[in-house]
């Protein structure tokens, strides 16, 4: 996407629909756009499907496309941040910030030292709220690709599925655990996991390489945002490893 097009997309409100060929607003979206954002009927908006497809449209109960459908490829490589929820900060907050920063897959995790633990029904409700938070964040930041919000996953299982060479190395394959004693972030780093207030246990630290984040001893929620910023900066070229 050229800079002029990207700038135009940032200026126009983003409206997400399930199908660009037959665009219909979800009831909650219709209320949000009409009552909260106060979009006027006929106002020019960007209509998107959350999968990279978009077109110019006129706003209405049934938005009217007025331009060709364009498809923006998903950024590559895909970026992943896993986080262990902590007390006092809703998981939706993590999802909102990670979505704004461009993370492609967001994974809430349960670790050995987790304080917040979800059972089946509670986990399902939390996942529903996080998916909704990701969608709302995309609308706010004009993002064309909805991130995948994974169900609550066990940390050991997650690391076993993402096993690979040290993520802090130039090969950058696999998952890295955020830890002050880890290696500096390197080109190719794509997956970072942030632990709970008490950090990772020794057994967990043995399961994957560690990567250090900028700053001092970070709060868990701060570390998740910093990890996302580092990953996005490395992918875009705005950050260059020493």
SS3 of 122-182: the string is HHHHHHHHHHHHHHHHHHHHCCCECCEECCCEEHHHHHHHCCCCCCCCCCCCCCEEEEEEE
Fold of 3-71: Ribosomal Protein L25; Chain P (2.40.240)
pLDDT of residue 170: 40
Residue numbers in the chain where pLDDT is lower than 70: 163-173, 242
pLDDT of residue 187: 87
Give this prediction's pTM.
0.90
pLDDT single digits (tens) 131-156: 999 999 999 999 999 999 999 999 99
- Residues near 82 by Cβ (< 8 Å), separated by ≥ 6? 106, 107, 108, 109, 153, 155, 158, 175, 191, 192, 193, 194
pLDDT of residue 111: 92
Q: Do domains 3-71 and 80-236 have the same CATH topology?
A: no
pLDDT of residue 167: 41
pLDDT of residue 229: 97
Domain 80-236, CATH:
3.40.1280.10
Contact, 119 vs 205, CB < 8 A? no
Contact, 168 vs 210, CB < 8 A? yes
pLDDT single digits (tens) 219-232: 999 999 999 999 99
Mean pLDDT of the chain: 89
Helix 91-100 vs helix 120-141: angle between axes, to the nearest 10 degrees? 30
Nearest to 185 by CA among 157, 151, 226, 126: 226
pLDDT of residue 178: 96
pLDDT of residue 74: 96
Domain positions in the chain are 3-71, 80-236
Contact, 100 vs 140, CB < 8 A? yes
């Amino acid at each position: 996407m050229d800079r002029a097009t990207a700038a135009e997309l940032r200026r126009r409100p983003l409206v997400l629909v399930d199908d660009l060929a037959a665009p219909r607003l979800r009831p909650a979206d219709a209320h949000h756009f009409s009552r909260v954002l106060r979009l006027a009927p006929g106002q020019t908006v960007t209509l998107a499907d959350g999968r990279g497809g978009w077109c110019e449209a006129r706003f209405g109960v049934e938005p009217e496309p007025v331009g060709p459908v364009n498809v923006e490829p998903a950024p590559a490589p895909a970026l992943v941040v896993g986080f262990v929820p902590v007390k006092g900060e809703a998981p939706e907050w993590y999802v909102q910030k990670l979505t704004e920063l461009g993370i492609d897959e967001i994974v809430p995790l349960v670790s050995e030292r987790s304080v917040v633990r979800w059972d089946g029904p509670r986990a399902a409700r939390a996942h529903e709220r996080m998916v909704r938070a990701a969608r709302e964040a995309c609308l706010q930041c004009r993002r064309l690709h909805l991130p995948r919000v994974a169900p609550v996953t066990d940390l050991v299982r997650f690391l076993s599925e993402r096993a690979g060479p040290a993520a802090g190395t130039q090969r950058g394959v696999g998952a890295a655990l955020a830890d002050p004693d880890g290696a500096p972030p390197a080109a190719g780093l794509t997956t970072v996991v942030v632990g709970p207030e008490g950090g990772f246990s020794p057994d967990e630290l043995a399961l994957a390489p560690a990567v250090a984040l900028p700053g001092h001893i970070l709060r868990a929620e701060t570390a998740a945002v910093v990890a996302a910023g580092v990953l996005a900066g490395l992918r875009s070229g705005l950050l260059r490893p020493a």
